[in-house]
A and B are shown apart, each in its own frame.
Chain A
Amino acid sequence: MITLSNTLTSKERKKPLLIRLKKEWKKNAIVYIVLIPILIHFAIFQVYPFLLSFYLTFMDWRVIGDPEFVGLKHWKYLLNDSLAWKAIWNTVKFSIYYILPTMALGLILALIINSGVRGAKLFKGVFFLPVVTSFVIIAGIWGWLFRGTEEGMINYIIGFVGIEPQLFLSNSSQALAVLAGLSVFKVAGSTMIYYFAGLQSIDRQLYEAARIDGASPFKIFWNVTFPLLKPIHFYVAITTTIGSFQIFDSAYLLTGGGPNYATTTIVYYLYSQGFTSLNLSYAAVLSYVLFFIILIISLIQRRYLGKESNHY
């Protein structure tokens, strides 16, 4: 066998290069015609900017004039920049407000539409609608709902149960939670889709068996459904975590990072450093911080999914 394959390859090798190239071209012309321009495009718009950004972190980039090499200056500045750490902490806090509620609401929505109710398809669409709606539209309405005056809709509603009017977006301890609420509303629909797919893949016989054993619906949920959704819980947790670290739109639209930097998230801080203060080099450092955080989360996901992929 070995000798046979060896002779074959050496025979192939003996053919003149031109003929082999011609043969390859005939076989794969479409690959080269399409792939080469795409790879050039990929190099220009993905690879080169990625490298340029890393290079930028060691330079002082100016709008006018040549960039100057400054070594680790910007990275050192990051270590002592309390605002950067506050931005990271704000983003972590945002994640805490956002991840579990999004997962819980998504699971509840999936359970409801999976419970055999009529009109499930229509309501699935209703719950999914915010996912495809732009942040600008939802933020405009959200800002109106959560106006921090007595005339605000939410203040009016909570007035019925005797709660004082709240400042919401102008209160530095509430603003981030209001933004997280907006994101929960916007994203729960896509979480629902994942959970719905998971629920549909559970073998119905398991429910039957549990029911015959006399388990209550609540017990069936906790002991059968919930554990079987484990891969989905994990996947959804990872994607919502990655999403939460990239939050920007609502902070830009509704609070401008305030009040008192309470809603300055990593990306908002990056934006204001880079494009308001025109400190592009430092913004590049911050973008690498974001990248490392997302990279770590993605690596955890890959490792875990590698192990657990047998489930699906």
Chain B
Amino acid sequence: MKKVVSYIALFVLGFCFLMPFIIMVLGSLKDVEYAQLDPLFWIPDDPTLKNYKYILSDGLFLRWIWNSVVITVIPVFSQMLFCAILGYIFAKKQFIGREFIFWVFMGVIMIPQQLLIIPKYIMFSDFGWINTYWALIVPEIWGIMGVFLVRQFLQGIPNDLEEAAYIDGANDLQVFFKIILPLSVPVVATVGTFSFISNWNDLFQPLIYLTQEKMFPVTLGLASILGKEGNFGIEMAGSAVSFIPTFLIFLFFQRFFTEGIQMSGLK
């Protein structure tokens, strides 16, 4: 009896959670204008790839995807590298001010990014970074949260292996690349997936720093066509295309998302 209730709830909720994605895919296959849409429209009839052909032949949309790739891929890899090294330093090295610096980091993490965006807008105007990739890449090359995650992870690992390596005459760099990094693959993958999601999905920062359509990432580009009459199929096709990278990363790295969420929360 209890099992039956569980299964019914599972399927009903599962359907509800998938429905928006189903609407997205079916909507993208429709050759109908927004204004004419019928509530029951997503029961498929006469699917067409017209919307996909339209957006993929549109130079602007491809440019948006490319912009998203640039402002996502660079921070993802630099975050993985820097957060790994910094996490290692804060977990394993002894140096003056270590606790103090980390304490400052943990304090600053409480500052909402919406507070920093106003002064950053002024700074980036001075730097000439408005409407450039710099404004979205340079501030994101490392992150406190990632350092925290790696440090947390490495503190739970005994020092035996490194000590053995030091006795064998290895230096810090060798210890980091040959011992620490291979051990930290799961947590570094978590840092990478988190970074991917936050950069790929970011709307607020591009909205502030970018005004030229050709510099938009795909989030801001889609936002600019959102809700315009006659665009529903195109909008959904655009959404679906921009969702593919997220979906693939999620499919292969789901474990790192969920483990990362648990690690960041329940210390």
Contact = CB atoms under 8 A, between A and B. Distances in A.
B254 A125 contact: yes
Interface in A17-67: 28-31, 34-35, 38-39, 41-42, 45-50, 52-53, 56, 61
Interface stretch (B46-54, B148-156, B231-239): B231-239
A30 B173 contact: yes
Contacts of A47: 108
A151 B115 contact: no
Nearest to B24: A141
Contacts of B21: 129, 133
A246 B112 contact: yes
Interface string A233-257: 0010001000000101100111000
A280 interface: yes
B56 interface: no
Interface residues of B, number: 79
Given A49-B119, A132-B197, A153-B39, A30 B93 contact: yes
B242 A134 contact: yes
Contact of A134 (B108, B111, B219): B219
Interface residues of A, number: 91
Contacts of B258: 124, 128, 193
Interface stretch (B157-165, B181-189, B203-211): B203-211
A175 B86 CA distance: 44
Contacts of B242: 134, 136-137
A207 to B, nearest CB: 13
Interface stretch (A72-80, A91-99, A288-296): A288-296
A34 B226 contact: no
B38 interface: yes
Given A31-B93, A38-B86, A139 B116 contact: no
9 contacts: A28-B95, A34-B86, A109-B13, A112-B9, A129-B17, A129-B18, A141-B236, A271-B207, A287-B112
Interface of A: 28-31, 34-35, 38-39, 41-42, 45-50, 52-53, 56, 61, 108-109, 112-113, 115-117, 119, 123-145, 151-153, 155-157, 185, 189-190, 193-194, 197, 217, 231-232, 235, 239, 246, 248-249, 252-254, 267, 270-271, 274-275, 280, 283-284, 287-288, 290-291, 294-295, 298, 309, 312
Nearest 9 CB-CB pairings of A with B: A156-B39, A134-B201, A49-B119, A52-B119, A287-B115, A30-B172, A141-B20, A137-B239, A53-B119
